[in-house]
Amino acid sequence: MPRGRPPAYTREQVLAAAITVADTEGLEAVTMRRIATEIGAGAMSLYTYVPDREHLIDLMVDRVAGEPVPPAVTGDWRADSLALVAMQRDLMLAHPWLPRVLAGRRITGRNLLGFLEHGLRALEPAGLPGITKMTLLGLFTGFVASYVTGELAGAASSVEEIGAAVASGDFPQLARVLSEGGGAPPDFRMIADWMIAGLVEQARGR
């Protein structure tokens, strides 16, 4: 059978395949050879679309950052920031590889820049300098990434798992906390609200 011209692929197809592999198998499974196989291209031909794996991951991050519709900005910096971090959490839970690649990631893609722009508008009523707002947004994202990492790992230890250690008497403060009870621990939105309010008020010098 005569050999025809190789099929043309788009960068969007490459990114969609890479994101699907990362979502289902983890980021380690995302290699240039694997993604080329997923779209039916030759391994070397993938370099036509992306120069290397790190650049591919940059593009993947920016691509998923454009999936959710940012919540409307209402003028209430606290509520708007909380809505924004809640959206981030949903996005990271949908793409479990995302939290680990955000640290130190370049913010150059249009979707990431759009997210930054939205965050700056959300914090505008707080009356903070621009560099302070950008720093706070980085801290917010770091908090969400850490929280989601714990959720995905099932990091919350049960009372039974630490009961033996507490019974040794070596951890009196922990024993006291456990003896207090107090019902269910604070949920994400409550903790996020504490974090946002505390950081912003501290930045405002209060």
Q: List per-residue pLDDT tens for the chain, 206 residues long.
A: 345 455 567 889 999 999 999 999 999 999 999 999 999 888 888 888 899 999 999 999 999 999 999 999 999 999 999 999 999 999 999 999 999 998 877 778 899 999 999 999 999 999 999 999 999 999 999 999 999 998 988 754 555 667 777 888 888 888 888 787 666 678 999 999 999 999 999 999 86
Provide the number of structural domains found in the chain: 2
Domain membership of residue 16 as a residue range: 11-65
Same-domain pairing of 84 and 43: no
| Full-model pTM | 0.85
Which residue, of 27, 44, 65, is where some domain finishes?
A: 65
Contact 138, 81 (CB under 8 A): no
CATH code for the domain in which residue 29 is found? 1.10.10.60
Contact 143, 93 (CB under 8 A): no
Same-domain pairing of 190 and 98: yes
Q: Is residue 55 part of a domain?
A: yes
CATH code for the domain in which residue 192 is found? 1.10.357.10
Task: Output the six-digit token pair for 25.
Answer: 């198998």
Q: Is residue 4 part of a domain?
A: no
Alpha helices in the chain (DSSP H): 11-25, 32-39, 53-65, 77-94, 98-102, 110-123, 130-153, 159-167, 172-180, 188-203
Task: Output the six-digit token pair for 19.
Answer: 């994101």
Task: Output the six-digit token pair for 14.
Answer: 């490459």
Q: Is residue 3 part of a domain?
A: no
